[in-house]
Amino acid sequence: MGAQLPLATRAYTWHAVQVKDVEPNGASRLSDAARRWFDDRDRIDRYCESKPETYAGRWTEGGTSLVLAFTDDVETHLDEIRDLLNEPDQVRVVQVRYSYRDLMALRDRVLSILGTTDGLVTWGPDVKGNCVLVRAVPDHLDEVRRTLMATNPDDVRVEVGERPIKRT
């Protein structure tokens, strides 16, 4: 079986062209509110990238509220981030056990713990759950769960997944 791709998650910024950077001929400029929103996201990206030892991920709640996770000192992170933002009330900070770096390191160890990719569908960080999510086909679910729970009961979650469609 070929190598499996890990679950994708946004933890570090990849620098692609964003809507705010493109204004085709004749297009109206972004509203001030939209520009502030993009500016806030850029500032949050830079702040989180500067804290790789403690930054654990982000997700959106309620469509507009951004939750940032760190492994330490929630109040300090919240104060520092809010000082950078145009819309500081749209951000909440929570404390979790593992940094994104820790989750990626565990993701990279999954294969050595299991010794095989047999039965695996995907594996990678679940930042909201603050664990590594491993999906296995039903026939291998119990074996994968038993093996991973023996060594990592608090930082791995094993769920049933479906085998990806093979390309011929």
Does residue 3 sit in helix, strand or coil? coil
Per-residue pLDDT of the chain (168 residues; tens, 9 = 90+): 344 444 444 444 444 444 555 555 556 678 888 888 899 999 999 999 999 999 999 999 988 789 999 999 999 999 999 999 998 999 999 999 999 999 999 999 999 999 999 999 999 999 999 999 999 999 999 999 999 999 988 899 999 998 766 666
Whole-model pTM: value is: 0.76
Q: Which amino acid is at 129?
A: G
In whole angstroms, how far apart are CA 26 and each of 21, 23, 38, 92?
Answer: 15, 8, 21, 38
Does residue 24 sit in helix, strand or coil? coil
